[in-house]
């Protein structure tokens, strides 16, 4: 479904992503793990066209998307949930979710999708009139994922959904990520929490200094001595 070939990202002289190649099949959850600064977010941002890649190609559902306008990415069916979440703090929960549906002018469908999001995240329903800026970090993460789902994506790009959250909240968020995946969503999941990411994905890629150093089935990676030593704290 997603095919990334020779993707290269640089910021001035800093080579953040060095010609990486990987793919995500339809219906899969794929984890991209790696240390701080490995180039994970840059990879995701380049796929979502938030930043320009220096080189390489990205194909989605057979179509080349690496040169299209950033605002067209969401119409193609890719929704990015960025690091730091990016909810609109002065809009209510409901308004944030409605913003997610703005690309479709279908009120009836949007209502259905709103119900789906509230089914995944009952806590958002309880707080639909609360200003997003006053939500807790975990609730904002829920809202960011919910807003992404409102665009009816074919694929979700999640950038560190566990960041800065207490273990119980991380568990809650990942329960929903698993449920969304079980309902058929294709997911590219970036995480520093390698164990968690590998536990809820089918395959994984390990990034190191802008390159992919290892890849394989998540279960295998969880057992790999190098992964265990470097990323699982063993």
Ligand X SMILES: Nc1ncnc2c1ncn2[C@@H]1O[C@H](COP(=O)(O)OP(=O)(O)OP(=O)(O)O)[C@@H](O)[C@H]1O
Give the residues lining the site for ligand X (CB under 6 A): 11, 14, 16, 34, 36-42, 83, 192
Output the residue with the shortest Cβ distance to Mg ion. 41
User: Does residue 43 interact with Mg ion by CB under 5 A?
Assistant: no
End-to-end CA distance of the chain: 34
Out of 1, 28, 41, 157, name the contact with Mg ion by CB under 5 A: 41
Q: Shortest Cβ distance from residue 160 to ligand X (Å)?
A: 6
User: Does residue 96 interact with Mg ion by CB under 5 A?
Assistant: no
Q: With the C-alpha atoms ordered 81, 121, 109, 26, is the resulting torsion angle positive or negative?
A: positive
Write b or e for each residue in 46-82: b if 16 or more Cβ atoms lie within 10 A of its Cβ, otherwise e: bbbbebebeebebebeeeebbeeeeeebbeebbbbbb
Tokens of 184: 């058929």
Q: Shortest Cβ distance from residue 14 to Mg ion (Å)?
A: 14
- Alpha carbons 25 and 23: distance in angstroms, whole number: 7
Q: Shortest Cβ distance from residue 136 to ligand X (Å)?
A: 21
223 CB contacts (<8 Å, ≥6 apart)?
none
Question: Between 58 and 87, how does the x/- string for binding to Mg ion read (CB under 5 A)?
Answer: -------------------------x----
Nearer to ligand X, 77 or 82 (CB): 82
| Residues at the interface with Mg ion (CB under 5 A) | 40-41, 83
């Amino acid at each position: 479904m997603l095919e990334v070939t020779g993707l290269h990202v640089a910021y001035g002289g800093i080579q953040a992503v060095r010609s990486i190649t990987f793919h995500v099949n339809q219906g899969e959850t794929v984890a991209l793990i790696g240390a701080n600064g490995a180039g994970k977010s840059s990879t995701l941002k380049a796929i979502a066209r938030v930043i320009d890649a220096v080189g390489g190609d990205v194909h989605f559902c057979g179509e080349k998307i690496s040169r299209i306008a950033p605002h067209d990415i969401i119409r193609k069916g890719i929704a990015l949930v960025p690091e730091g979440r990016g909810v609109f703090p002065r809009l209510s929960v409901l308004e944030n979710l409605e913003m997610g549906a703005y690309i479709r002018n279908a009120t009836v469908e949007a209502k259905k999708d709103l119900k789906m999001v509230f089914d995944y995240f009952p806590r958002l329903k309880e707080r639909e009139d609360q200003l997003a800026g006053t939500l807790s970090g975990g609730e904002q993460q829920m809202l960011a994922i919910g807003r992404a789902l409102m665009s009816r994506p074919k694929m979700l790009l999640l950038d560190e959904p566990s960041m800065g959250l207490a273990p119980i909240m991380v568990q809650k968020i990942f329960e929903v990520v698993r449920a969304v995946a079980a309902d058929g969503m294709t997911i590219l999941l970036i995480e520093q929490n390698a164990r968690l990411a590998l536990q809820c994905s089918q395959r994984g890629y390990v990034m190191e200094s802008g390159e992919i150093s290892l890849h394989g089935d998540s279960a295998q990676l969880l057992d790999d001595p190098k992964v265990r030593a470097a990323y699982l704290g063993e």
